[in-house]
Amino acid sequence: MGLFHPYFNNIADSMMSKIRKELDEKRYLDTVIHVFIAILLSILFSSFFANIKKEIIITVTFLGSFLPDVDHLLLYKKSRFYNFKTFLRWIVHSSRYRKYFELFHNFPSMITILILLPFIYIKNKLMFMLFTAFLFHLLTDLIIDKIVLRNVKHWRFGV
């Protein structure tokens, strides 16, 4: 890292190594992080949009938090798994499954959502919540991929 005193750099490198190892060994932490972010966004949206029922906010936020992973189904189509259960187990436990261009897990999707968010906010608050949660999912995956895989070149701009 090289930003601080060598002692603190060693601590920071050690912590990053530990986080990287945990995420690599236990990919389900990725799902836990998505749930945690969905809960935080639900609380945040509930305070900003008091006129919308909390149940609706929670539903929309959780839907937006997990909708981006639909593109993993394209991997199932391209892969040679015996059944869907083994494919899901592989996704949960593997940190190296991003081999193909995915419909949502890429920079153009993130940029498009960022550009559209102000317009969506003006038109429909629930869609704003959905797309904000969607964007946070992608940002989280990008950060996790940077930590675990140590690069994000698979988050490319095209097929």
CA-based Rg of the chain, rounded to a whole angstrom?
18
Instruction: Give the other-Cβ count within 10 Å of 113's Cβ.
Output: 18
Per-residue pLDDT of the chain (159 residues), as tens digits, is 445 556 656 666 676 666 666 555 555 667 788 889 999 999 999 999 989 999 999 999 999 988 887 766 666 555 666 676 776 666 655 544 555 556 677 788 889 999 999 999 999 999 999 999 999 988 888 887 777 666 666 666 544
Angstrom distance (rounded) from CA 149 to CA 61: 27
Nearest 5°: the CA angle 30, 33, 39 is 145
CA 53 to CA 137: how far, in whole Å?
23
Cα angle 39, 87, 147 (rounded to 5 degrees) comes to 55
